[in-house]
Chain A
Amino acid sequence: MENEAEKSPNGYEPKVVAFACQYCAYSAADLAGPTGLQYPANVRLVKLPCTGKLDVLYILDAFENGADAVFIAGCLDGNCHHVEGPLRAKRRLVLANKILNELGIGADRLGMYQMSGGESIRFVEAAREMTDRARQLGPSPLNQRKSAANE
């Protein structure tokens, strides 16, 4: 199956994957439209029940499958439906950052944002920031390697 995004009309269009908690960030993303906000179409959300469920494997797999940037979007500290999901996610991010640096992908392609379910503006800022960062950094090294192999 071909990767459709590579045929994007504007040349390089980064793919950004967001792992979003269903209680806060997923809801904040849903509310962006009704509150009159827009964000880059580069972002694809994967819903999690809580950022406490986040696995380093998910992040690495997203990069392996073409993501140029990944971000985790969870609840505010102290307002997690499951008490301390974002704290656990942040701890797992330390390990993920280390692995990404070792692999040469770079930890700056990974971000973590926290917001309440009503803060669509915070989600939109996160989506814009990570998309801009992926644009500045260029395609992920894994994607560069893949396109080199295809040529």
Chain B
Amino acid sequence: MTKDVLVRYQSEDGEIKTEAFDIVALSTGSEPAAKAADLAGRLGIELNEWGFCKTEKFNPLQTTMPGIFVCGTFAGPKEISETLAEAAGAAAGALQFLSPVAGSLSPAPEYPPERSVSGEKPKVGVFVCSCGEEISKVVDLDQVVSHAQRLPDVAYVEKVAYACDPDTRKQIAGKMNELGLNRLVMAACSPRTHESMFQELLRQAGLNSNLVDIANLRDQCAWVHVDEPEMATLKGKDLTAMAVARARLLEPIETYVVEPKKSVLVIGGGATGMSSALAIAQEGFGVTLIEREAELGGNLRRLYSTAEGADPQQFLKELIREVESNDRITVMLNTELVKSTGSAGDFRSTVATMVAGNGGSTETEIEHGATVVATGAVESRPGKYGLGQDDKVITQQDLEAVIAQHSERIKSANSIVMIQCVQPEDQAEAYCSRVCCTAAVKNAIRIKELSPRTDVYVLYKDMMTYGFREQYYTEARRRGVVFVRYSDDRQPDVRLEAGKLRVVVEDPILGERMALQSDLLVLSTSIRPAETNTGLASVLSLPLSREGFFLEAHLKMRPTDFVAPGIFLAGMAHYPKFVDECLSQAAGVAAGVAGLLSKDQAKFRGEVATVDATKCAACLTCVRVCPFDVPFINAEGVAEVDPKKCQGCGTCSGECPAKAIRLFNYYDAQVLAKTKALAGQFVKIGEVAAIGE
């Protein structure tokens, strides 16, 4: 008796196999929560036929009861990042009713007064987080702890399970207080995602938020050195020592207060851009909506039906009417962003509008507190299977228009073949465009509705009609649509013979080649990032993913934010999405904007350059090299940097021949502390000035 689990299954070629496994994990799917019906009854909201909350395609966060919004898996199975975008969107929905009083009941977080640490010897608290077991399963944290205990000025070391847990943070803040610690080192996750959380922890402890350094033991150690636990542990010790070394030299930061500009620049006039513009305007902020094309609507202009039955053209007409009639929204067509500077709450951008006829353009400068990127994506038109050479070969988007406007072409067809997953040859990264399976199924049903006698074949690799969309797959099969699988190494072959299309595909289940005559061949082609993404990413200094879509701040937790504060992301600029998903995200963006702009004061950390007037020779190097034209020679004849304008890149400090400029948090001594710690060298406090500062 091995107690193994024996699994008996049929392989693709029909053979029955039996295999032994140690563990079998079942993906059981999700169902409505046990008390969903009860809750719905009490709230007076309707559920759909599967017992999830009922919503409409173009109003995905609205329940059947006005004033009650829904988000997350109560409205259907979905991914974490989608639930979070929806959560923000539902909050924005509620805000529409509350905008006159928004913020009036939310007191600023109260912190104890900030204790001055000047003149104190560094007293470092090191908290080593196992992140559940994410870090500890690779890095031996006991070794990290005992290593940290031997580092200079370390007064306290503790291992914690989840440093991000609010109670744990409270305990750490308490410990800092109790022991009079004045520097914090978190050996935990990435500062990129969690630094602000630990800065806030310090405020809770009555310390300046800046007195923390983070050793990135999770993202840059445990997760990437899974097979080298010993080396990873050595690295973990080094990273912790490097963080302690710099933490000892950290200084309190000043914050600067800016009154945010109460207006927003929305880039992209498709469904996503327009609906986020409307939601933002309903919150009381002004919106400039710029659209590259000559009319609003984007991809939605080419969508004539949805699987769910809602009419996109009706919705689009209404949306455009609402946007155009809204006093707070200014629409600029034929317009592109050419320049953008500034920071959250205080952006200054230049947009160029094409002038009809003469090919020239006029430039307009816009001041705004936030930016929304909603530039969409495009259906690709690869030259595959005769697309572009024969008018009987079209894309799924073309088919939408044929069904809506030239139904006679459908009715006269004996046979229509669709090929799924058609990727351009030059597409470097393979990815799923998410919406094409549903589009194919939807259009197959429309064809069968128009002309039941027309044969419809869908050649697919893997049908993905996830969530409630699965019903349309069932419906298509019920109506006689034939689904035939193909594999990557045996792609369908398309020939034009005597004016007729002949499609040959090898069915891996039958093991036989099928030849299909076809009057119309429909390709589900990849949805590609907009060609303008590269240029726009450069103007806004935003990252793109490997596939060329815009890259959000965090793949799961921050789907509508960029790392750069004050810039937000929605719709297909992010990745291919259904309309309802775009609209949820657009609403989520409106919540993010409100969070930033509804405050009368936005605070900014002064991670900025300062000039030592005694060293400055007024050589103008900084004036010349600053990418943002910030430094100037002041009345005293030395360079000066306005902290509110400085972007903190340190270019001036890197170039200054007299080393008269230093960048806060990146003083040479602070950077060098890290490299010196590699060799176990720690500068004596008080000797900092000696290393060229």
Q: Chain A interface (Cβ within 8 Å of chain B)?
A: 1-5, 8-9, 13, 15, 17, 22-24, 26-27, 29-34, 37-42, 44-50, 52-55, 57-58, 61-62, 64-67, 78-85, 88, 92, 116-119, 121, 124
Contacts and interface: CB of A to CB of B under 8 A. Distances in A.
Identify the interface centre among A4, A5, A34, A85: most chain B CB within 10 Å of its CB: A4
Chain A's interface: helix, strand, loop or mixed, by majority? loop
B228 interface: yes
Nearest to B674: A46
A41 B219 contact: no
Contacts of A27: 192, 543, 563
B679 A88 contact: no
Interface residues of B, number: 67
A30 to B, nearest CB: 4
14 contacts: A27-B192, A29-B220, A37-B224, A44-B238, A46-B242, A46-B675, A48-B650, A52-B650, A61-B676, A64-B679, A92-B654, A116-B544, A117-B543, A121-B546
Contacts of B649: 49-50, 52-53, 81-82, 85
A88 B655 contact: yes
Given A49-B607, A85-B649, A79 B538 contact: yes
A55 B656 CA distance: 11
Contact of A38 (B227, B538, B647, B665): B227
Contacts of A66: 678-679
B224 A57 contact: no
B216 interface: yes
Contacts of B162: none
A3 B679 contact: yes
Contact of A85 (B226, B651, B682): B651
Given A23-B543, A33-B224, A79-B537, 19 more contacts: A23-B563, A24-B543, A27-B543, A30-B219, A32-B224, A33-B223, A34-B555, A38-B226, A38-B227, A46-B675, A49-B649, A52-B651, A55-B654, A57-B672, A61-B675, A65-B676, A65-B679, A81-B647, A85-B651
B231 interface: yes
Contact of A41 (B228, B242, B545): B228
B231 A42 contact: yes
A42 B653 CA distance: 30
A81 B647 CA distance: 10
B651 A79 contact: no
Contacts of A80: 541
A88 B654 contact: yes
The 9 closest A-B pairs by CB, nearest first: A33-B223, A53-B650, A1-B680, A117-B543, A82-B649, A41-B231, A83-B627, A52-B651, A65-B679
A57 B676 CA distance: 12
A80 B551 CA distance: 15
A38 B225 contact: yes
Contacts of A5: 234, 238
A42 B221 CA distance: 10
Contact of A49 (B546, B655, B666): B666
Contacts of B220: 29-30, 45
A32 B220 CA distance: 8
A46 B231 CA distance: 18
A48 B555 CA distance: 23
A92 to B, nearest CB: 7
A47 B675 contact: no
A52 to B, nearest CB: 4
A22 B650 contact: no
B112 interface: no
Interface in B577-603: none
B681 interface: yes
Contacts of B150: 1
Given A17-B678, A27-B543, A49-B663, A55 B668 contact: yes
B141 to A, nearest CB: 15
B165 to A, nearest CB: 21
A57 B545 CA distance: 33
A48 B651 CA distance: 11
A3 B680 contact: yes
Nearest to B664: A49
A89 to B, nearest CB: 8
B625 interface: yes
Interface string B636-662: 000000000001111101110000000
B232 interface: yes
Interface in B150-171: 150
Interface in B467-500: none
Interface in B133-158: 147, 150
Interface string B194-220: 000000000000000000000010111
Nearest to B189: A30
B647 A82 contact: yes
B234 A41 contact: yes
Nearest to A29: B220
B109 interface: no
Nearest to A32: B224
Contacts of A46: 242, 671, 674-675
A9 B230 contact: yes
B237 interface: yes
A76 B265 CA distance: 26
Contacts of B107: none
Nearest to B138: A41
Nearest to B230: A9
B692 interface: yes
Contacts of A47: 191
B47 interface: no
A26 B651 contact: no
A124 B672 CA distance: 24
B479 to A, nearest CB: 40
